Structure 1
Amino acid sequence: MTLSTSLLAAAPLIAGLTGPAILGAVPGQHQVDRPAVEHAVEHTAARRSMVVEHEAARSDAEQRRVLGYWTPQRMAAALPIGLLDSVTDGDGLLGGLTGRGGAQAKPGGSGGSGGRTEINVGRRHQASSRPQASTIGARWSTGGAVTRTTGRVFLTLAGADFVCSASTVTSASKDLVVTAGHCVKDGAGEWAQNWTFVPGYGRGGEQPYGQYAARRMFVSAPWSRSGDDNHDVGMVALATSGGRHVADVVGTQDIAFNTPRGGQTYGFGYPADPPYDGDQLVYCAGRLRDDPYKQTHDQGLGCAMTAGSSGGPWLSGFDPMTGRGTVTSLSSFKYSDDQHTMYGPYFGQAARTVYATAERA
């Protein structure tokens, strides 16, 4: 069976993973790919070979330029990342793989323009007065920390503007968000530009906590080399806004690696393809299951969210009353013959290494 988008079936995750690790709270674009600089001495060479870094908006002037780029009109016109193949010439990794036969995957949902199956979720799109333990898509109306820590991402790739989702996570820098790798870098292709995070995004373009431009971006080497969807994870270190770190403004979610597979999970994001409009935080909830096609080591969650939800956090141990949990995966792709299951990468040792590099950037 063939995966036919930016997300390629690939080799198994790194073997020999250690036990679960939970990390709690801690009080012009340069197109350069290079191994990230490690702050820890231990295993420095190995880590450098596993993580690829990109310098984004480092100077104050460049950060102001990026924030100024995103006018309300540009934000409203930005497309779900799953539509990248329909607005480029097909030379990139996303464009070149669409249209093949067999089971196909769409990044973060059903966003491709050809053969898209629109999902009639009916009542599932309505707000729920109380959180549900099992839903394939409902508007989150309970409040809590997740409404602040989750946000929309706006980016430019291949000359077009797109949207994704992301979440703040605990880090030494207090500037870190996690999202999908394909929301940061087009696999073996180019890095995203004008990358901006808007936490707590609301109807009509409401931005209650401001905007944060990317300073530095990190992906694993397997994602950068070939778009290996076992490693569809990106970490982004943000610039401060008004002199304040994003973690000090909106808080963070914990993040964990090498956790037991399966279990109950809540997935969040801002789906923007019909029947959604990208203006509301939507969630799915249920138990995880392994990829039945055995094409990846990802796990699946019953979820009808569409493109635009790419990179949205999956929270284990989630408390619906406080809106807090532990990020253990994120929305990555769907098979085109199963629009009601979202797949997310397993956060193993490779993801942990990306995090260890990015959290102090």
Structure 2
Amino acid sequence: MRLQPPRLLATTLAVTLALAGALLGSTGRAAAAPPSPDARSEHQRIVDFWTPDRIAQAVPRDFVRDPATGRFSLQPNRAPGSTTTSTGVLGAVWTSGGLVQTTTGKVFFAMGTSYYVCSGSVVKDADTSTSVVLTAGHCAWDNSTATDPAQHWAKNWMFIPDYADKPATLTADGSFCASTAYGCWTAQALTVDQAFTQQTSYNTTATLNDFAFATVGPGGLGGTSQLDTKVGAQAISFSSPVPSGTRVDLFGYPAAKKYNGSQLIYSEGPLGTDPNNGNLTYRVASSMTGGSSGGPWFAPFSAGVGTLMSLNSYGYAGQSYMQGPMFTNKTQSLYTDAQGATANHIVP
């Protein structure tokens, strides 16, 4: 947690301009200063950390709720459920390209001795030296009761946009990032919500605050490209609740059966709420599995361009639904604070 009034004033002005630009469809950005040697070194260290062997060991960090008990458990290999009613697309390969193709990507990170995979989306922002990636809170922070608070944070956090365009070949001597379409970007800061971090397990309160933002510096194939300049970015809205029945499009890189983690998958259907969670989180019929956590939800959405309003958060055993948090002023506070951030932090 930090108290920096000058920066808060600056970032408040920045987010106001960013949101105005998003509504107008503008992405005007001044040229960014080159990354410092230390930033380049840390970026390269994380890129080098993700050897093909570690990439192959990464599993989905997928939380599944038992509808009978209401309890959550980590189930990296959960298969799609069968209980659902849907008037849309449960889960299909996205083949229409567009901005959503380039701005949605895979996320790799380490927690303790385990390696995990999630999804994320590039968000429009006003800072010229960094870019912002939206993902799930549980893809940035571990709620388990570690004795050392520093162990809660995800380590070696890396984002690969448009992974489906050129999935990496995991050869023993190959470079993972160099074999992808755009390369990799690494987090210099993760921003999470205090209410999420105060939970000692993934529970109902955690689901309401299961969002996070990663601040990434220059990266990509040459190590010097700004992420949002290279692949674009999507607008974001913090107005909630979005009316039930609204058509919503969900995206992600599910890696558990029946999916393989190398294809961009989407679901489309009417928005509802989770009756088992006090109707405080959204739900949409979807067969996406683990690995899709943190993937973007859009409403409205057309021709690959949309407005972010939630993300893939948790599922239910035996059911084909995806649940997601409602974006509120708390989410906006995280988004504001993440712009230009240089260290992990928790927002009250």
Q: TM-score, normalised by structure 1?
A: 0.72
Distance 2:38 2:279 in 1: 35
- What's the counterpart of residue 231 of structure 1? 209
**In the alignment, which of 234, 249, 258 is matched to residue 266 of structure 1?**
249
Distance 2:48 2:249 in 1: 34
- What's the counterpart of residue 149 of structure 1? 103
Q: What does 1:104-253 correspond to in 2, within 5 Å?
A: 104-105=71-72, 111-112=75-76, 116-119=78-81, 134-173=88-127, 174-187=130-143, 190-202=152-164, 204-205=167-168, 207-226=180-199, 227=202, 228-241=206-219, 242-253=223-234
AA partner of residue 229 (structure 1): T
Distance 1:160 1:170 in 2: 31
By how many angstroms is 1:196 displaced? 0.2
| Higher fraction of helix | 2
C-alpha distance 118-305 of structure 1, shift in aligned 2 (>3 A) = closer
Contact 1:139-1:281 within 8 A present in 2 as well? yes
Distance 2:120 2:211 in 1: 11
Gap runs ≥5 in structure 2: 13-36, 146-151, 169-178, 342-348
AA partner of residue 324 (structure 1): V
265-274 or 59-68, larger mean C-alpha shift: 59-68
AA partner of residue 8 (structure 2): A
Distance 1:333 1:236 in 2: 20
- What's the counterpart of residue 325 of structure 1? 306
**Equivalent position SS for 1:351:** helix
Contact 2:76-2:256 within 8 A present in 1 as well? no
Distance 2:295 2:73 in 1: 15
Q: What does 1:9-88 correspond to in 2, within 5 Å?
A: 34-35=1-2, 37=4, 39-41=7-9, 59-82=39-62
**Equivalent position SS for 1:68:** helix
For these two proteins, the number of residue pairs brought into alignment is 285
Distance 1:36 1:157 in 2: 27
Contact 2:273-2:283 within 8 A present in 1 as well? yes
C-alpha distance 204-354 of structure 1, shift in aligned 2 (>3 A) = closer
- For the aligned residue pairs, the C-alpha RMSD in angstroms reads 2.9
Distance 2:278 2:137 in 1: 18
By how many angstroms is 1:335 displaced? 2.2
By how many angstroms is 1:140 displaced? 0.3
Is 2:248 aligned against 1:286? Answer: no
Identical aligned pairs, as a percentage?
32
